[in-house]
Amino acid sequence: MTDNSQFHAASALVQAAHTVSVVGHLRPDADAIGSVAATVAALQQLGKDAVGAIGQLDSMPENLYTIPGASNIKFGDSLPESDLIIVVDCGSIERTGAFESIIVNNPDKVLVVDHHATNPGFGAVNLIDVEAESTTTILYDWFDAMSVQITPDIAHGLYAGLLTDTGCFRWGRPVMHDMAKELMEFGLDIRAISSALLDQTSVDDLRLVGQIVSRIELREAGPYTLAVLVADFDTINGRSRAVVEGLIEMVRAVEGADFGAVFKEYERGVYTVSLRSSNLSVASLAVHLGGGGHIPAAGYTARGTEIEALDTLIEATVTLGESLRSSAHVDV
């Protein structure tokens, strides 16, 4: 849990900076974009020259553009020269994508704000709270410590991260409802926000989901049963990434499965793998395979054929065995 001394140290970095780059993670979700957009707005309110950036060439899903300030976030492989780099919602430095080397080479001017349990803390100051439901939850408290005035646009970004990272408030601490209530008092249209981020779909999207879900398999992995979806390159190339990313929630609680995995081949031979479980520490699996995340929700990157990628996950699960279950009790 973050405390006042950490907030003070983070605020001191901001106070000393004139130009600030706010970096979110690769393949951003609502918590990443909401965090970047809200932080940029807060910094501009404090008189800083702030910009948001994602270290990838591909843009984000269309529905994320409904978050105020999202359209101003730059996507690419170059980061503007700045006095301070604030990295939000990145569970590891690798998640900063094309900006990784810049961040590695300038650790003294990096501030990390995150809630992923696997984050080692790679900044000069690290606001990391693994109990926080979303990165926007931490930002909400930090903004208060900096006397940032919450505006409807900032509230929208903070709420977007809270809404999506709690699965529409299906998990989290009681405090998440207090935060939601306070943000709603800024006039948010929560029905419209929820619809844009979670509900909007098309006939084409539904057909894509059906095509992928029809291939679901249950595989044995040591003492566990794994529910697997594979979204291969030929199926998903050029299709909605928001729909593909949402597939993981369909395998989280498949009857008879201990955990679920979705293999997404956005690039031939390279699989972005999402893991979910209500019972196991899939973060341990992800870390073992070079990734990271939360105890019940994590991910990593696999390379090779579909069979090779799946075999690697099964082998890792067998290797870690019962330790995945014994470490899952620390989930919140």
Last residue of a domain, one of 149, 167, 198: 198
CATH of the domain at 209: 3.10.310.30
CATH of the domain at 130: 3.90.1640.10
- My answer on whether 134 and 182 are in the same domain is yes
Last residue of a domain, one of 152, 172, 198: 198
% residues pLDDT > 70 (the chain):
97
Q: Tell me the longest C-alpha to C-alpha distance in the chain.
A: 56
pLDDT of residue 185: 97
Chain position carrying tokens 């067998």 = 318
- My answer on whether 209 and 124 are in the same domain is no
User: What whole-number distance in Å separates Cα of residue 189 and Cα of residue 211?
Assistant: 33
Mean pLDDT of 189-198: 94
Is it the case that residue 260 has pLDDT exceeding 80? yes
pLDDT of residue 253: 79
Of the two residues 292 and 190, the one the predictor is more confident about is 190
Give the pLDDT band (50/70/90) at residue 1: low
Mean pLDDT of 316-323: 95
Is it the case that residue 329 has pLDDT exceeding 50? no
Mean pLDDT of 28-42: 97
Per-residue CA distances from 38 to 30, 45, 192 (Å): 11, 11, 18
- My answer on whether 177 and 218 are in the same domain is no
- My answer on whether 48 and 184 are in the same domain is yes
- My answer on whether 104 and 187 are in the same domain is yes
* Domain count along the chain: 2
Give the pLDDT band (50/70/90) at residue 231: very high
Is it the case that residue 173 has pLDDT exceeding 60? yes
User: Could you tell me if 194 and 163 are in contact, meaning their C-beta atoms sit under 8 angstroms apart?
Assistant: yes
Q: Among the listed ranges 10-14, 43-47, 179-183, 297-301, which one has the minimum average pLDDT value?
A: 297-301
pLDDT of residue 170: 85
* H runs (alpha helix) in 278-328: 282-288, 306-320, 323-326
Is it the case that residue 216 has pLDDT exceeding 90? yes
Mean pLDDT of 51-66: 94
User: Could you tell me if 159 and 180 are in contact, meaning their C-beta atoms sit under 8 angstroms apart?
Assistant: yes
Pick from 90, 98, 110: nearest CA to 20: 110
Tokens of 261: 């995995």
Last residue of a domain, one of 198, 223, 243: 198
Per-residue CA distances from 160 to 91, 140, 165, 248 (Å): 19, 12, 8, 19
- My answer on whether 229 and 192 are in the same domain is no
- My answer on whether 193 and 230 are in the same domain is no
Average pLDDT of the chain to the nearest whole number: 93
Tokens of 154: 């900032």
- Domain of residue 141 covers 4-198
pLDDT of residue 299: 92
Tokens of 310: 């799946």
Q: What is the pLDDT of residues 128-139, one digit of tens each?
A: 999 999 999 999
Is it the case that residue 141 has pLDDT exceeding 50? yes
- My answer on whether 121 and 257 are in the same domain is no
Q: What is the pLDDT of residues 79-97, one digit of tens each?
A: 999 999 999 999 999 999 9
Pick from 297, 315, 317, 323: nearest CA to 224: 317
- My answer on whether 235 and 168 are in the same domain is no
pLDDT of residue 124: 97
pLDDT of residue 331: 38
Q: What is the pLDDT of residues 262-289, one digit of tens each?
A: 999 999 999 999 999 988 999 999 999 9
Is it the case that residue 330 has pLDDT exceeding 80? no
pLDDT of residue 295: 87
